[in-house]
Structures are given as structure tokens and as C-alpha cells.
Structure 1
């Protein structure tokens, strides 16, 4: 896997719109202004993007806008998630991306593009905030993004809840569970053998999470996994109404009960106003013992 170059204040940060459009132009403008105030020289070239329903443009327009951004910046951040990345995975020039290794920041639907860039181009990415959130996220999240871009290793994430004991060192991959499950059967989903997988989702009832994990199981993906880190599964409780929050965790545990690898929960990651920022494609160590779990990042995403 290739390292991206270190980011320095004043360097360009490319803005990409591979999925849904912002609900209002004002949200995008506030996010762009907040990034500039934090020292990022934003490069935003929407080109011929013209919103089409739930998408920020046609498939060819969105893929083209990604390539234009990559021509100007090695560090990219998505406008928002929503939906749409799956539709352009076959339009990305992965050879060009491999020649210019970079970092893509985003989460939710952006998971698809981050994982495909890892698989096909060796990119490391950041599962973190999108542009339209930047004016409202806590300073701690912004600092975590900056440190990762500058090649620093984050402090270990301690205090996780051990659901199954064990230890594993492997490549850290993950993101939105629904998106990962939709990539099954494609050449864009990474090989998860001996990998550490972190997952989250939003507005999904326990039976739907069961179905998503069962899809991974039936595809033979879970058997060789190295370990599982369970993030937040948030949403309207009227939709999730099948007991309290413990029901969701228990659903996940039941789905992976037959496997020997370590499992932890309690990671503050997902569709939350304040959450952890996680690197994708780096070496990490998961430790789960009776006293609690710990996730330690061993490798940076960027180097000089």
C-alpha cells in the first residue's frame, strides 16, 4: 500500500462530490468557509455538475469531477455521503490514482469509494467528516483529521467493551455496513482475510443488520476475518423499535457467534455529531481482554 504525501498548511484540499448533493447551497458554503478558516486551501471545481434528484450529477459528471480534483490535490474530502459512490466505481481511473497516491476523507456512502481505492489503487483514507459538517463538528475531530494528514499516529482507543476475547494485528478497514454489504460480489471490495473490520450504520432495524451480516457470512467473508470493532448504530428509535440499544449489539453478536476472532463494541464512530476519526488501510492492533478492549493504530497514512 502506498503512502500519501504529508499535508502542510496552505496545501490544496480537493473537494469531491461522488454521491449526493448538499441539501442547500448554504450548507456547502459554510463548510467550505470553515475549512478555509482552518488553514485548508480548498479547491472546488464543480465543472458541469448538475444535481439529478438524489445525486450531485450524472455518473460521468461525478467521476469526472473526482478526476479533476485529483489532478489538483492529493488530499480529497467529500462534500457529503448519501448515495451514489457505488454507481461510479467502474468509472474511476484506478491506474491514475495508483500513480498519485492520495487520501480521501469522508464516511457513510463514501465508504464504497474509499474501499475501492484501497483495493484497486492502494490508497489509505480517513473515515471522517464531510464538507457540509465541517462548520459544526467538534475541534477534537478536526484535530484528529489534521494529525492523520500530517502523518501522526493517533492515541490508542481504549475503554472498548470486550464481547469476545482475543488479539489480532492486521489492516484496518471498514465504514458503513450497508455499503460494504452492497459491494459483495464485486471486484472493488477488499479481501477481508485477517483484516480488522469496523462497522456502523444508521436508520437500520436489527433484522436488517442481521440480513447485512448474513450476506457477508454467506459470501464467505466473515470466516477469515481478523477481528470486529462495532461502532454506533443510530437512527429513529421508532424505526429501530425492537427493544433497547442492547438488542442491536446482541443481534450483531449472534450473527458472528460461531467465529473465533475478537469482537469489541462501544466505539464512538458512526452517524454522530461527535465521533472518532479512523484511518483506512493502515496496520492496527486489536486487543480484547476481560478488562476491556483497545484499538491501536500502528502505521500512518502519510509519509514524507
Structure 2
């Protein structure tokens, strides 16, 4: 028969395990930084790419770091408007993630299709890996963090040299500079980062692949969406009770063609502030990330501080 002490220890262990959610446990696990000799596998889970796409710049950037970049022929495969059937793309991701010699997975292309890979059965293995992407790839980054795996970086392998250097620094475990935006609501927020394309994340509401936002700092960006459509999406988030869980919220670039705006319409900044400014938490707009340049990289799940008075988003050691 168990002793009282045994029962107490067992009970405490159960409570501690329950308190440590997959994301909390992931925060305690650190990935090994990339180093010379690290292997990177390119994948394309979305829209097909032109076979003549010039990837030499990415090869040269990886060569400069002495990383071995693998670009399988599958990245330029085509099936309808995807880079292969759903099952082919699932197998591409499984191959990259299950290969113990691959240290990082970088997404090429974009468009649409990554969420279909999740729906078609791709699941992240239990071991973490670095991954890099944005836009349509946001669904995979969010699912990676929802699965309790660190290493998802919202960013691009393109852009300026300064932008790329920030990405390299994150992959190599080095500190990076704070990002400066425009302050809208004062206050200091601290919590894990959840960085995503708004449209992609909106279509993950109600699925297992949208991670918990409780106590998080949410960073949103989008492209090609008029203010009324951004309004509609943020209203969905509000109605679902998701924004009310946040510690802070920031927005990157919301790029769109302003030729269809009518007198009296909301501007993009106005609708973002109108939908996000009454939450009682720090709010910062126009961080230097998203579609366009610069697209500064941020790691999902990393502990960060959002300073709503000065418009600063900083990663915490």
C-alpha cells in the first residue's frame, strides 16, 4: 500500500506535469544553434514554383555560413496550382522532418497549400527542428508551436543582407536587435511570441493547429487585404474570444492597393487601432516585417517584451 509520502510525491508530480503544457515544456527545450556543416532541406508545401526560379542567391548565402543546402527537384514539381499532390507534399515534409541529419527546414514558394498538408495528415515528429518561412507557411509555423516544438522562425530567406543576417543570428543562437514600430497603446507586455499572417491564422481558428494565445504577444501581418476584410477577420477573432487572452499585440506590414478606398473609409492603421486598441493591452503598429522589405525575422514561442510606450518589441534572454 502506498505511503502518505509516496502519494504526496506522486500527486505533486502529476500537478507539475499538468501545469507544463506542450508549449511550456517546449520553452524549456533549446535547439542546438546551426553551425558550419549543418544541413538545411528546402521544401515547397504551397503553390508551384517556376522551374527557372533562380535559387543561386540562397545557395550562396548558405555557402557563406558553410551550411549544406539541399534543394530537391520536388520544390519545382507541379500538380494543378500546387507543388505536387497533397500526399506528395506530406511526404516531402515527412522526409525532411524525419531525417535526423537535417538540422533546419526552409520553405520556398508560398501562395496557398500548407494548411492542406496539415489536413492531409502531416504531423510534426516529437523532435524539434529549425524551420523558416512566412505567409502561407504560417500554418506550419503555428502548428509546430502548437505541437510544443520550438524552432519555428517567421521570416524569409530572401531580402537584404541585413535582414538575412538577423535570420542567421537567430538560427545561430545569437541575440538580435529590438524591432521598432509605432506606439498606439501604452504598457509593458511579456510573453511568448505568436507571429503569423492574419488571413492564414484566421482560417486555422477551430483547428488543432492554432496554438493557445493565453498570455501571448501576438504579431500579425498581411498582404492584399483591404481594411474592410481585415476588419472582418479581426471581428472573427474578437467574437471567438481569442484577442481577449493576449498580453500584447503588434502588427507588421499590411500591404494593399489603396486605389479602391472611398472618402470616409477607414485607413488600414485606423481599422487596426479600432479593432485592437480597446483590449486594454499594449498595441504597436508598423513593425518592419511582413510582405515587402524589410521582413525581419521573429521566433515563435520565444519570450519577448512589447513596450507600447516606445513601440519596441524585444526578445528576452
Task: Please indicate the TM-score interval, normalised by the length of the shorter structure.
Answer: 0.7 to 0.9
Question: Would you say 1:3 and 2:30 are equivalent positions?
Answer: yes
Distance change (3 Å), C-alpha of 1:238 and 1:47: same
Paired with 1:249 and 1:121, the residues of 2 have a C-alpha distance of: 33
Deviations 1:213-259 (A, max 9, x none): 011111110111111111111133325x3569981011011112331
SS at the partner of 1:249? helix
Cα deviation per residue 1:70-90 (whole Å; 9 max; x = unaligned)? Answer: 214121100122111111114
Matched, 1:199 2:220: yes
Unmatched tracts of structure 1, length 5 or more: 300-304
Q: 1:33 aligns with which of 34, 51, 59?
A: 59
Change (3 A) 1:243 1:150: farther
Residue ranges of structure 2 left out of the alignment (5+ in a row): 1-25
- Map residues 157-196 of structure 1 onto 2, 5 A cutoff: 157-158=179-180, 160-196=181-217
Aligned length in residues: 286
How far off is 1:154 after superposition? 0.8
Q: 1:3 offset after TM fit, Å?
A: 2.4
Say what the alpha-carbon RMSD is for the aligned residues: 2.1
Matched, 1:286 2:306: yes
* Alpha-carbon distance in structure 1 between the residues aligned to 2:265 and 2:95: 43
Identify, as 1 or 2, the structure richer in strand.
1
Secondary structure at the counterpart of residue 284 of structure 1: strand
User: In the alignment, which residue of structure 2 is the partner of 1:302?
Assistant: none
Match of 2:229 among 199, 205, 208: 208
Larger radius of gyration: 2
- Alignment TM-score, normalising by the size of structure 2: 0.84
Aligned equivalents of 1:58 and 1:228: distance in 2? 36
Provide the residue aligned with 1:15 in structure 2. Answer: 42
Which protein has greater RCO, CA pairs closer than 8 Å, 6+ apart? 1
Counterparts of 1:1-304 in structure 2, within 5 Å, are 1=26, 2-22=29-49, 24-38=50-64, 39-46=66-73, 50-70=77-97, 71=99, 72-90=101-119, 91-94=121-124, 96=125, 98=126, 100-130=127-157, 134=158, 137-158=159-180, 160-239=181-260, 241-242=261-262, 247-289=267-309, 292-299=310-317
Q: Distance in 1 between matches of 2:305 and 2:265?
A: 27
Distance 1:5 1:215, change over 3 A: same
**How many Å apart are 1:275 and its aligned residue?**
2.5
Shift of 1:49: 7.4
1:183-226 superposed Cα distances (whole Å, 9 cap, x missing partner): 00111101101100111110100000001101111111011111
